[in-house]
Structure 1
Amino acid sequence: MIDDSELETAYFERLPLEPNLNKACLPAKMEPIALEGALSESQVACMERSIGEVNYLCDRDRLSLSLIANAHLNNDSEAWEEYVKAHLVEIDGTNPALAYRYAFFLYDEGDYAQASNWAGVALAYRSAWTGQEYLDRVFSLYELRAASGQAIWRAVAEADESEDSASFDARLELCHVAHEWQIFAEETQLDSTVPIAVLEMTGFACEEN
């Protein structure tokens, strides 16, 4: 029985070759090497050049995802971040799995604003997930956005003890995020204790704002 990946490979192999694609680093040849984390420096350089030169989006997508996989398998977080950001910004900003991983990476790096932003992107395209994966990932993304919102509000408040407009805006944004999380949790019969607590902490009734 032929699985989906074999059918996808067969489909791509029937497509005419992109005229600007370097034959030394064709996606079909690079993908299995990348999935072992075994791309050489010259292969990586060839793939990077090809991504900037080819016109076919499917080829750019495959080469880019291969570079991401190779960097991940080699524990090269700097290269991984660079490739992921470039992929989401320049190639495919609708990949929820990649936006999901990038959001958590940025949160761990302390970039709370961008972590919340990319979590929002992943949520926007969450229909790609189903079943338990959908529930787990969407809940985690709301949780991450709430944690990021709390960190941003705390930083703003500590910078200026007065309730200035920046602190107010950060608190109101956190309220909206927590309210969305609460709604999702209740609609899917998941635990809504934490989002309700965060909502109450903001002091707002967000459904009225």
Structure 2
Amino acid sequence: MSRICKPYAAIRTFLLLLCGWVPLLTALGAAGQTRIYDIRYGNNAIGTLETKQETTGSTRRITLKSRVQMKLLSRMEVDIFAEYRHNVLHAAKATRLQGKSSADSKETSTEKSANGYTVIRKGERSILHHARITYCVSDLYFTEPREIRQVYSETLGVLLPLKLAADKRYELTMPDGKRSYYRYEKGKLKEVEISHALGKAFFTAREGA
């Protein structure tokens, strides 16, 4: 059981880091985008991730919904919402439900304030002194992050470093040092790779996405 739980925890950590960003002109051209990714561990399909981006005037909204089910383990659902106004993050919310009870639900919220952003995570309030957040992890699903070096995680309430790796994939580093890799083709995200001690998990775009 412990060998099964470790990869599941790695996938869960990745899902909790999803979040939203993209430049204004790209956002205006990307209204109404919906993409679905299959989540796979080894040879097993364990879930799906649905991503959606909508633009109305100067407001842009991103929603992410992941559903994971592994044998011998309870299901897990992660829902993320991010809203931009004039290309600046205004509010975000990430909710994770593991199991069937609402007591197992965890939530992180981010809201623009006069001093930067107010972040509430695990019931604790903090201030992120960053004047304007314009890029978050969920935007990686809609736009290749050329010239981007930092992205904001709605679920962790921190900025994460991003760089272009030697194999032309983008490397996102988590606070604990773990890395995820994003591969693009013609500007579209095709695959995300999560590495951990027992192997790799993949998020793969469905054909036509």
Q: Give TM-score, length-normalised by structure 2.
A: 0.23
Higher strand share: 2
Higher helix share: 1
Q: Give TM-score, length-normalised by structure 1.
A: 0.23
Q: Which has the higher contact order (CA 8 A, sep 6+)?
A: 2
Larger Rg: 1
